[in-house]
Each structure stands twice: as C-alpha cells, then as structure tokens.
Structure 1
C-alpha cells in the first residue's frame, strides 16, 4: 500500500472588529482544491524533515506560508490545532496538520502559481459567503472556521485552543446522504442510526452546510 504523504496548513489570525480575522487564499482553477479558498500550506518537502512528524509539519507550514504569501512566522510560535486524515474515496490524499498562529504585520505578496486572491475574513463571514455559494470551501477549512467563530480576539483563541487536546479527524464520506462523518458519530462505523444518537457530522449535500456535534 502506498504511504499517504503529509501536508501542513497554517491558520494565520489577527484581531478584527469584534472577532478575529483569518487569512484565506484562493487556489487557481486547476490541481488540488481548484478554485477553493484555503489557509496557506502544502505538502512536506525533503528539506522540511525533522526528528518527528509534528516538527516536520511545522517547518512545512512556515515554509509554504512564506512562499505563498511572503509572511514569515516562527515555527515555535505555531499552536497545533487539528490533524486530518482523508476519506478513502479521494484520488489525492494527504495527512494534514493544521496549526494556528498570530498573523504578524506585513503585506501579503501572493505567488500566483499557488494563489490568485487573498482576504482577511472573519470566520462567520467566510461561512456566510460559502453558504450563499460565493466562496468555495472544503470540509476541513469549513470545520476550522466554525471552530474559530467563538473567539473575539487572537489571545482568547490561543488560551482556549492551547488548553485542549489537538483534534483528530479521520473522515468518512456518505455520498448518498451528503455527509462527512467523524469519530463519535453513531453512523461512523456503520452503526444503526437513532434519532437521539451521538452526532459528529457535516451535512454537505446542499448549501448552506450544517454541522452536528453532540
């Protein structure tokens, strides 16, 4: 079996009007995540290699962010946010680390081969635009934005996220019902579904998407 490569993503955040803002990049209309809005990041390269996978991913997240945006971040300043394993059905698969960090001052200078547009957006605004069909997102980005909606300042986000365990998502897809499923959902391993059973799923069959976690 071919080993799934590792990738890393960096969620850069800054204080905005009443809520944090995060940096999103729009990918070109080709390749992986074509036309989608994502956080800076990409796959691990040989010169990112370190003693363990997390440190390797930190190096990749910082390098990719610098290449794609011109913004420089200290790898030690990154806060592990989540780790995503892809559904089996995907043709292109990565195990992806998501990190969180304060967005330092500086102009975003895009590498056009990697991103065609960028915006600092409040998570709630990004999700609203996605729900209206004007901003394309993928489930890991959507769930991350939903998580970050709770925070009014970057400091508050750092305190809260730093006090919890890193979240791990091993995604399963139910195309027939338009669902992305994660551990904790009673249907995740094919169990019989009940009305009041535990849920950990994202409804992606139509807009706006809807997250259930109980």
Structure 2
C-alpha cells in the first residue's frame, strides 16, 4: 500500500495552532532533539509494529505514534558499556557530533524501555536480556521514567551492555514552525528481542497496540486512527521495504541525517493539508 505524499490531512487542533501562529506573527520555538523507535515483530508471513496513542493533554495528544521522547541531558553524559557502532560511527549516520549521536542513541533505547517496557541491552555484546516484566524491573523502569535514576546507572547496576546495533537508523523529522512544542526527531527501527514483550506502562499513552503496518495505514486513511505525516510516511516506507529482513537491509542505506519538515497549507478555499519539504 502507498500513500499520496502530495497531501496529508491535518487534524483540526493543528490547523487552529497554525492559524493562530500566522495571525499573531509567532516566533518558532527551537526544536528539542528527540528519538523514536518502530518496534517490529513477526506476524505470520507479515510483521507488526507497536503504536501508542498519546493522552489528550500532551503535545500531539490523541495521535497514534511510535514510542519515543526527548533527549535528556544525562543521555549525552552517560558512561556505559556499549555494543555495536561507536558514537563516532553513529555521528556519521545521524549527521551530528559524536556526543550528540550518543545522546540520541541512548535516548532511543531509554525511551523504548520507559514507554514500552522493552530493553535493548544484554549481559555481553552478543546477547539480549529476556523477560523484563517482573516487579523489580518495573520498579527500575518507574524510577528511570521519574528521573530518580539514570539509564547508564540502571545498566551498570545490572551489568548490562547497551546494544546500539539493535537500533537501525531510518529517518529524521522536524516539527513545523507553528507548533508550540517542536521536536527534531530521529527515527529508528528495532526488532522486538526474543523473550521480551511490550507492556502498556507509560502514563503518556492511553492506548497501545500491535498492528500490521498495512492495516494501520489503511485505518488511518479511513479516518479510524489519527496519525501525523512522519508516522504515515514511515509506515509506508517499511511496507515498501518488504519483509523484516528487507527492512533491516534497507536501513543501511537510509538517510537519517537530512531532516524532513511537513508544511501545512491553509488555503482560503479548500481543505488544510500537509505536504513534505
């Protein structure tokens, strides 16, 4: 299934933000660096992606997206065991300096644990922890989410290595200028580690589900699910890549450094819609 990138429907709340921004001659807020992760798992001959719906009170509330969030200052300062490409190699893929690249990768791994209960780490460079849904892990996750502890400290305490090689860079999106909260978001793909399962743990989501990308895109096009252009385009891209192995191979040649910014058009006669810039 494909989508017509010449235009995407705009949720009414975003249209209201844009009109107010234009009328008041607003100044764009600086975008906060963020990371988001498309968790994928096999589903018969196809595969599924994990999506969450943000609670209405949040930025982009009521919209389905992938687990993720802003980079925390501790993400760039963390000293932790590291497997996979080093920060210098990640810097080349993400188009930023090595410390910033480390922060983005750490944020991606931290956020997917905070929001989905999935930990991309293992006791050595070639393994991944199994089930992390026990009470002790949940206490650790809550402490991490509340910033009572750092991600590096959690991994060190449990003698775990961050598996950066399990995060596959995919794309980069920047929120339009009219939004009061803006993000410069790096998108990653990751396969759900064997033995782990997602859990509806984040207080930032009011609904979560595993869904085939083709079904998610069809339901979004039918108006059943509200999604913004980054989510719609990314779903279409992983569908076009093929099966899970093809998605992993495609990530090797993806441009994850050049940002894409959706542009909202507000015609006097016609329907407000996004295009890509």
Tell me the TM-score normalised to structure 2 length: 0.61
Correspondence 1:29 to 2:56: yes
Partners of 2:170 and 2:254 within 8 A in 1: no
How far is the alpha carbon of 1:82 from its aligned partner? 0.5
Partner of 1:91: 180
Contact 2:37–2:112 (8 Å) recurs in 1: yes
Partner SS state of residue 48, structure 1 = helix
User: 1:151, 1:17 → 2: CA distance?
Assistant: 17
Shift of 1:125: 0.2
Point out where structure 2 has 5 or more consecutive residues left out of the alignment.
Answer: 1-27, 78-97, 121-162
Residue in structure 1 matched with residue 276 of structure 2 by the alignment? 182
Q: Does 1:56 align with 2:83?
A: no
**Paired residue total:** 183
- State TM-score, norm by structure 1: 0.78
| Matching of residues 157-196 of structure 1 within 5 Å | 157-166=247-256, 168-176=259-267, 178-183=272-277
Task: Tell me, in whole angstroms, the C-alpha distance in 1 between the residues paired with 2:44 and 2:241.
Answer: 12
* Structure 2 equivalent of residue 78 of structure 1: 167
Structure 1 position 7, deviation (Å): 0.8
User: How far 1:112 moved relative to its partner?
Assistant: 4.1
Task: Note if contact 1:18-1:152 (Cα within 8 Å) is conserved in structure 2.
Answer: no
* 1:119 and 2:209 matched: yes
Instruction: Kindly report structure 1 stretches of 4+ aligned residues shifted beyond 3 Å.
Output: none
**CA–CA distance in structure 2, aligned partners of residues 145 and 138 of structure 1:** 11
Greater C-alpha radius of gyration: 2
